[in-house]
């Protein structure tokens, strides 16, 4: 879907979605203590629709407003739901592939992709094979029906990974056997992630690992990382499947955390940033 079409969909449906949310929660807008919104990273046109709705409501009802980095939202909701206290975090989604740890009020990057994200890799392979988006679930399903591994490019540099060569090679394998291609893709990509994560666990000496992001729903990825945690004597946590992808709960919860330590921003200071790295955000709570 083109960003303009997606933003139009957001604009047309936001009143109904807001009304349904309030109705299901059994509250009125005037009952709200704060309003938080996803300020980035993401598609600019879509982010702007959310910001306009949040800004309008905050202004009209005089409710404090908080811009939230949605990547940090993944982490904070994951911590709350799983009970992880001080984890090394693996954030794997369509927009991120990062290994992170919290230090001195910021999430520090200990490894990331050098080109495309893990979610982008799976989606591009899925679209190439003719799957409907999102493609990760279909790839996981087909991969579970094979155990015939085909050698594919494996690129790990320190704690960083590169998937572009793996993408090209997998596309060449698909016409031969789709199930084998999906199996080999998952095994290779997830092993790369596992190696980089294990190295970061060893370096940081963290005793917890938390996986968040849309790809966290993949069971095979969890199996590989559970083995990593067993070797490193660390506890393993993963976001519940229904909260792994982008959702409003992440933004709401992170806004609540911020509101416990600072006032809302002025309306003129509300913003959206398509590219807003989470390691630039000072976390005060």
Q: What does pTM read for this prediction? A: 0.95
pLDDT for residue 133: 84
Per-residue pLDDT of the chain (285 residues; tens, 9 = 90+): 788 899 999 999 999 999 999 999 999 999 999 999 999 999 999 999 999 999 999 999 999 999 999 999 999 999 999 999 999 999 999 999 999 999 999 999 999 999 999 999 999 999 999 999 889 999 999 999 999 999 999 999 999 999 999 999 999 999 999 999 999 999 999 999 999 999 999 999 999 999 999 999 999 999 999 999 999 999 999 999 999 999 999 999 999 999 999 999 999 999 999 999 999 999 999
pLDDT for residue 102: 98
Domains of the chain: 3-70+246-280 (3.30.420.40), 73-244 (3.30.420.40)
pLDDT for residue 93: 94
How many CB atoms lie under 10 A from the CB of residue 31?
9
pLDDT for residue 232: 98
The encoded tokens of residue 228 equal 């990593």
Instruction: Give residue 156's region: left, alpha or beta (phi > 0; psi -120 to 50).
Output: beta
Question: Exposure of 105 by Cβ count < 10 A (0-12 exposed, 13-18 middle, 19+ buried)?
Answer: exposed
What distance in Å separates the CA atoms of residue 168 and residue 66, rounded to the nearest whole number?
Answer: 41
pLDDT for residue 227: 99
Tell which residue, 91, 92, 114, 87, has the closest CA to residue 103: 87
The encoded tokens of residue 158 equal 């320190």
DSSP β-bridge partners for residue 181: none
Give the CA angle between residues 81, 21, 274 to the nearest 5°: 70
How many CB atoms lie under 10 A from the CB of residue 127?
12
Three-state SS for the chain is CCHHHHHHHHHHHHHHHHHHHHHHHCCCHHHCCCEEEEEECCCHHHHHHHHHHHHHHHHHHCCCEEEEEHHHHHHHHHHHHHCCCCCEEEEECCCCEEEEEEECCEEEEEEEECCCCHHHHHHHHHHHCCCCCCCHHHHHHHHCCCCCCCCCCCCEECCEECCHHHHHHHHHHCCCCHHHHHHHHHHHHHHHHHHHHHHHHHHHCCCEEEEECHHHHCHHHHHHHHHHHHHHCCEEEECCHHHHCCCHHHHHHHHHHHHCCCCCCCHHHCCCCCCCCHHHCCCCC
pLDDT for residue 193: 99
Looking only at the bridges linking them, the beta strands covering 160-161 and 156-157 are antiparallel
Give the CA angle between residues 56, 269, 12 to the nearest 5°: 30
What angle do the packed helices 178-204 and 219-232 form, to 10 degrees? 30
pLDDT for residue 23: 97
């Amino acid at each position: 879907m083109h960003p303009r079409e997606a933003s139009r969909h957001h604009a047309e449906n936001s009143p109904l979605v807001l009304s349904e949310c309030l109705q299901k929660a059994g509250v009125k807008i005037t009952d709200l203590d704060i309003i938080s919104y996803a300020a980035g990273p993401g598609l600019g046109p879509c982010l702007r629709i959310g910001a306009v709705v949040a800004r309008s409501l905050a202004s009209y009802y005089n409710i404090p407003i908080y811009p939230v980095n949605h990547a940090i939202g993944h982490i904070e909701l994951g911590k709350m739901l799983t009970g992880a206290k001080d984890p090394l975090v693996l954030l794997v989604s369509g927009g991120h592939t990062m290994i992170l740890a919290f230090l001195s009020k910021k999430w520090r990057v200990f490894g990331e992709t050098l080109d495309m994200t893990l979610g982008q890799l799976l989606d591009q392979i899925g679209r190439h094979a003719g799957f409907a988006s999102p493609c990760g679930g279909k790839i996981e399903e087909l991969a579970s029906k094979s155990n015939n591994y085909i050698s594919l490019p494996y690129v790990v540099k320190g704690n960083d990974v590169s998937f572009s060569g793996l993408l090209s090679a997998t596309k060449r394998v698909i016409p031969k056997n789709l199930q084998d291609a999906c199996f080999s893709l998952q095994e290779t990509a997830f092993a790369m992630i596992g190696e980089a994560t294990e190295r970061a666990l060893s370096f940081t000496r963290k005793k917890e690992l938390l996986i968040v992001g849309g790809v966290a729903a993949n069971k095979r990825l969890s199996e590989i990382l559970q083995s990593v945690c067993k070797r490193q004597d660390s506890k393993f946590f993963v976001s519940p499947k229904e909260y792994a992808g982008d959702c409003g709960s992440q933004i709401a919860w992170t806004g609540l955390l911020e509101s416990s330590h600072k006032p809302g921003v002025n309306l003129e200071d509300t913003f959206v940033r398509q590219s807003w790295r989470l390691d630039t955000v000072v976390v005060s709570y």
